[in-house]
């Protein structure tokens, strides 16, 4: 009996010394989880979320149900999760909008950006700078030179004001010190149609959308928005080669309500990172032009802070800020 008591005492002392308590290792999850996508079904984020949710469910041992709560630039879904119980059962699958760009693009939000706690990075969606055949340039350097000779005459298409395809172009203008003519559309489909038809000159948008047109020769790729070359587009250099520091690949990541216990956040983080390392998941994402890429909880928090500063400068510099 004394030996048992002695061992128990030593274990208790060790737990106190290391700061580990029963509350730090919760029994989670014990029921299905909801993954809220703040966009309509069928879009890139929705498809990616559904691919990941299947394997994430296996890692957690509970179903992960994807729910679409679209509208108001992703703020409806973000607000829903921010106001949910901080128990880890309601997760936001999101893009930069809710925490990074919307706070500067919108006068008010139905939540505070800090009401959401990032869990892990999930993926990045590389974009590509494409031009139609009417624009007689063969590189990013030539494009910049042409824009300087013809300020405001090169038209770049986007999926709408504040969309990543819009901000990608604003970042290009800022860093290259050029002036382009922005032509916003109501969505990527309309922008693509006019670009292929020759009604606009260029775009910087999601690789997955433009890849078929690059392969068919209807559009020409000049550069990718990632810091390094992509295996999906061999031979196409990063825009950053011409403009050091240019990096504009929207990331997808998971968030939970801010007051969610760290123990639960850690469990979710480990499960997400394990899920996206599965070859089947990586292959399915790659087929959509998406690169699986995880992170620690601290890394995603630091990255969001960095991106907030970066895009605030672009938004304010372009006169888009609603503040």
Domain end (from 241, 269, 289):
241
Q: Are residues 185 and 285 in the same domain?
A: no
Q: What is the pTM of this model?
A: 0.84
What tokens appear for 314 in the block? Answer: 């672009």
pLDDT at res. 323 = 63
Average pLDDT over residues 61-88: 96
Range of the domain at 62: 33-123+250-318
Average pLDDT, rounded, for the chain:
90
Q: Sheet with 116-124: list strands edge to edge.
A: 64-68, 33-37, 90-94, 251-257, 116-124, 291-292
Beta strand segments in 47-134, E: 64-68, 90-94, 116-124, 127-131
Q: Which string of DSSP letters, residue by residue, matches 86-113? A: SSSSEEEEE-SIIIIIHHHHSS--SS-G
Q: What is the mean pLDDT of residues 197-203?
A: 96
Q: Residue 256 — very low, low, confident or very high, per pLDDT cuts 50/70/90?
A: very high
Of 19, 37, 39, the C-alpha closest to 254 is: 37
Residue 62 located in a structural domain = yes
What average pLDDT score do residues 157-181 get?
94
CATH of the domain at 178: 3.40.190.10
Asked which of 220, 241, 262 is the last residue of a domain, the reply is 241
Domain count, the chain: 2
Residue 207: burial class (beta carbons within 10 Å; 0-12, 13-18, 19+): buried
pLDDT value for 322? 76
User: Could you tell me if 177 and 132 are in contact, meaning their C-beta atoms sit under 8 angstroms apart?
Assistant: no
- How far apart (Å, rounded) are the C-alpha atoms in residues 68 and 35? 9
Measure the N-to-C terminal CA separation of the chain; round to a whole number of Å.
Answer: 69
Cis peptide preceding 29, ω within 30 of 0: yes
Q: What are phi and psi of 124, to 5 degrees?
A: -125, 145
Is 136 in the same domain as 233?
Answer: yes
* 261 and 118 assigned to the same domain: yes
* Residue 70 placed within a domain: yes
Last residue within a domain, chosen from 241, 261, 285? 241
Assigned domain for 98 exists: yes
Q: Does the residue 17 lie in any domain?
A: no
Per the domain annotation, does 132 fall within a domain? yes
Rounded Cα distance, 79 and 111, in Å: 6
Residue 26: inside a domain: no
> Residues 264-323: pLDDT tens digits?
999 999 999 999 999 999 999 998 889 999 999 999 999 999 999 999 999 998 898 876
Q: Provide the pLDDT for residue 26.
A: 62
| Percentage of residues of the chain with pLDDT beyond 70 | 92
CATH number at residue 73: 3.40.190.150
* Token pair for 242: 């011409």
Q: Which residues are CB-neighbours of 241 under 8 A, at least 6 positions away?
A: 140, 223
| Structural contact between residues 55 and 280, judged by C-beta atoms closer than 8 angstroms | yes
């Amino acid at each position: 009996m004394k030996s048992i008591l002695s061992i128990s005492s030593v274990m208790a002392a060790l737990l106190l010394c290391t700061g580990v308590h029963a509350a730090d290792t919760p029994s989670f999850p014990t029921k299905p989880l909801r993954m809220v996508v703040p966009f309509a079904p069928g879009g890139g984020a929705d498809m990616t979320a559904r691919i990941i949710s299947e394997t994430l469910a296996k890692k957690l041992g509970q179903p992960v149900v994807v729910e679409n709560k679209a509208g108001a630039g992703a703020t409806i879904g973000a607000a829903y999760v921010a106001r949910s119980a901080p128990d880890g059962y309601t997760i936001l699958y999101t893009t930069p909008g809710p925490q990074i760009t919307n706070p500067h693009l919108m006068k008010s939000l139905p939540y505070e950006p800090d009401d959401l706690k990032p869990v892990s990075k999930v993926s990045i969606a590389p974009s590509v700078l494409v031009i139609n055949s009417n624009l007689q340039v063969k590189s990013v350097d030539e494009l910049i030179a042409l824009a300087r000779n013809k300020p405001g005459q090169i038209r770049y298409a986007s999926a709408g004001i504040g969309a990543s395809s819009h901000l990608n172009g604003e970042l290009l203008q800022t860093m290259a010190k050029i002036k382009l003519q922005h032509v916003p559309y109501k969505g990527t489909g309309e922008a693509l149609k006019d670009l292929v038809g020759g009604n606009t000159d260029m775009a910087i948008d999601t690789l997955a959308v433009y890849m078929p047109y690059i392969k068919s020769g209807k559009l020409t790729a000049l550069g990718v928005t990632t810091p390094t070359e992509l295996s999906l587009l061999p031979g196409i250099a990063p825009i950053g080669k011409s403009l050091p520091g240019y990096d504009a690949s929207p990331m997808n990541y998971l968030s939970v309500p801010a007051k969610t216990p760290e123990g639960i956040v850690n469990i979710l983080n480990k499960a997400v990172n394990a899920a996206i390392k599965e070859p089947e998941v990586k292959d399915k994402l790659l087929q959509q032009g998406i690169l699986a890429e995880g992170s620690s909880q601290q890394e995603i928090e630091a990255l969001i802070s960095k991106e907030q500063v970066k895009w605030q400068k672009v938004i304010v510099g372009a006169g888009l800020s609603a503040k």
